[in-house]
Chain A
């Protein structure tokens, strides 16, 4: 297996072999899950098989994460540059892009051409939409890079979930404002995922548009100019939708709507768990401190990380946004999520359970230690949170079960 040799500060040579090298192909294969359900339906005729990916993601993946546990290994700093530049890893992210189009076309054509019940068509749309959520993940990895090919591929793949404004909002808005009350994509303590979604959906569109409009204004161009990066991606979405509707008929309208809503919901779920309650301090000059690893919730669960191009090593990603997925690092004493993303999403969907588990974890973090002034709190929940956790009533929280 390919290895990398670096020189330690003492002059000693160090050899590193990436044991996850071939396992990253899981991130490539993951978007093809709907075809597994389709194959089983085709051979048995039982429509329930079409929903298999829901079971794989929300039933099986949390258990696999629990069983396989965490991977805290880091590539040594001395070889990170070589690992980053190894073209193998980025090629995997290139290969996924056409697979997302194939999955959308494949599920859409199956839904339209097979003799399926109405609920099976919608079920297949949900499954396809969950997969398209992974397209946002691929677009995320690609959209952060500074090469033209990766920026282009990000725009292409984000057309599948109709989320062409993602790269601008995420890179230029979310990363700038992360873990502050100003960020529409950072959830606040006491805010349920449903309340968060109502703030995040429109907020992301408006912020992306405003950032892109400012750029085009500086170039003396109208915001509707073809150079608008958001419109470029959305134009491809329009072509996809019109083409599918033309080819497969009106069934495509509910199919694509459900597909798109579920894709967006995947992103909302990720955004919700990634920065819950975390807050960057304001410095004396009025600027926020730079984003440190402890301003993001992290997960080292190996299985779901391998399925998501290391997205869950989110702390290092926000501290170093251009770092490639294969090089992202684990740090000790970080805010840690209780499971991989799929299991954590399930927790988030039940707000009382989420608050019960996560509020204690949040307040127990070493940089917070129960100090509510260091927490990003939902203004509507402020008084109840202070009543419950206010300093005078505060017992020193303990980080149980981690």
Chain B
């Protein structure tokens, strides 16, 4: 599974963990997050801006 990071605030979306508070169950792939997804912490970067972690 992959991890994606917000380039502004460092929020990490880990596909293994999902984000329970935001309503993304563990195992939810980043690609299936809503198209209008914005960073849950800073909101100033959107899905397309997130960077895959190596």
Contacts and interface: CB of A to CB of B under 8 A. Distances in A.
Contacts of B41: 146, 322
Interface string B26-48: 00000000000010111111101
Contact of A291 (B21, B22, B23, B44): B44
Contacts of A146: 9, 11, 41
B8 interface: yes
Contacts, number: 42
A146 B42 CA distance: 9
Given A215-B22, A320-B8, A322-B9, A290 B38 contact: no
Contacts of A360: none
Contact of B9 (A176, A287, A321): A321
A218 B23 contact: yes
A176 B42 CA distance: 9
B42 A175 contact: yes
Nearest to B20: A219
Given A321-B9, A322-B9, A175 B44 contact: yes
Contacts of A171: 43
B24 interface: yes
A172 B44 CA distance: 9
Contacts of B11: 146
Contact of A321 (B22, B44, B48): B44
Contacts of A321: 8-9, 42-44
Interface string B1-25: 0000000110100000000111110
A171 B24 CA distance: 19
Interface string A171-207: 1100110000000000000000000000000000000
20 contacts: A146-B11, A146-B41, A172-B40, A176-B38, A176-B44, A215-B21, A215-B22, A217-B23, A218-B23, A218-B24, A287-B48, A290-B44, A291-B44, A319-B44, A320-B8, A320-B9, A321-B8, A321-B42, A321-B43, A322-B42
Interface of A: 146, 171-172, 175-176, 215-219, 287, 290-291, 318-322
Interface of B: 8-9, 11, 20-24, 38, 40-46, 48-49
